[in-house]
């Protein structure tokens, strides 16, 4: 067991974990941040996506101890108080979720896509979400949501 320290959603946090503990388990079990989901054990579904020093990564494919000292944002850190993040707002407006299991990962990846590509084409969105699977297959509304999120962000709202 080692003591692992990192910044999560703006706060410095620490926890004891084994070296083999995956970052996603550290977030969920040690920190109680259960918004980050685990949808597979093959690094393919993207439900566990978080931002590590600003980049979208799969937290099931990284050890917690690798993230020592890192700056992490999870789905819980996206809204500002009562005000949803534009991507969350857009998913709500466009019905971008059905069961919601894939949604935290979809939102984290979408936010990363929009940072790199503020005006994405449909192709950019589909390519960007390649590593996120929706078992409800609600992709049409997910793509709509990302387009809508771009509008909200670009309008400065």
Partner 1 sequence: MYALNYQRAKSLDEAVKLLGAEPEAKLMAGGQTLIPTLKARLAQPSHLIDLARVAELKGIEVKDGVLIIGAMSKHYEVMTSAVVQKAIPGLANMASLIGDLQVRNMGTMGGSIANNDPAADYPAGVLAHNVTIVTNKREIKADDYFQGMFATALEEGEIIIKLLWPLPKKSAYSKFEHPASGYAMAGTCIAQLADGSVRVGVTGAGSSGAFRWTEAEEALAKSFSLKALEGLKVDPETCLGDLHAPPEYRAHLVGVMAKRALEKML
Ligand X SMILES: Cc1cc2nc3c(=O)[nH]c(=O)nc-3n(C[C@H](O)[C@H](O)[C@H](O)COP(=O)(O)OP(=O)(O)OC[C@H]3O[C@@H](n4cnc5c(N)ncnc54)[C@H](O)[C@@H]3O)c2cc1C
CB of 133 to ligand FES, least distance (A): 8
Question: Is 86 in contact with 148 (CB distance < 8 Å)?
Answer: no
Q: Which stretch binds ligand FES (CB under 6 A): 12-20, 65-73, 86-94, 135-143?
A: 135-143
Burial 7-29 (b: 16+ CB within 10 A, else e): ebbeeebebebeeebbbbbbbbe
Nearer to partner 1 (CB atom), residue 84 or residue 126: 126
CB of 46 to ligand FES, least distance (A): 5
Nearer to partner 1 (CB atom), residue 69 or residue 92: 69
| Closest CA relative to residue 57, chosen from 111, 122, 19, 95 | 111
Nearer to partner 1 (CB atom), residue 44 or residue 141: 44
DSSP 96: -
Nearer to partner 1 (CB atom), residue 18 or residue 151: 18
Cα distance between residue 151 and residue 61, in whole Å: 32
In the complex, the residues that contact ligand X under the rule CB under 6 A are 43-44
In the complex, the residues that contact ligand FES under the rule CB under 6 A are 38-40, 43-48, 58, 60, 97-103, 134-136, 138
């Amino acid at each position: 067991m080692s003591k692992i320290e990192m910044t999560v959603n703006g706060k410095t946090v620490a926890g004891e974990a084994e070296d083999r503990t995956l970052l996603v388990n550290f977030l969920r079990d040690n920190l109680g941040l259960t918004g980050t989901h685990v949808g597979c054990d093959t690094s393919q579904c993207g439900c566990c996506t978080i931002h590590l020093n600003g980049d979208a990564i799969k937290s099931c494919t990284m050890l917690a101890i690798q993230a020592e000292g890192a700056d992490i944002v999870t789905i819980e850190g996206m809204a500002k108080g009562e005000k949803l993040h534009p991507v969350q707002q857009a998913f709500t407006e466009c019905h971008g979720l059905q069961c919601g299991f894939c949604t935290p990962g979809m939102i984290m990846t979408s936010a990363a896509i929009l940072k790199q590509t503020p005006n994405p084409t449909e192709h950019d969105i589909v390519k960007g979400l390649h590593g996120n699977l929706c078992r409800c297959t609600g992709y049409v509304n997910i793509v709509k949501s990302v387009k809508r999120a771009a509008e909200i962000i670009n309008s400065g709202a």
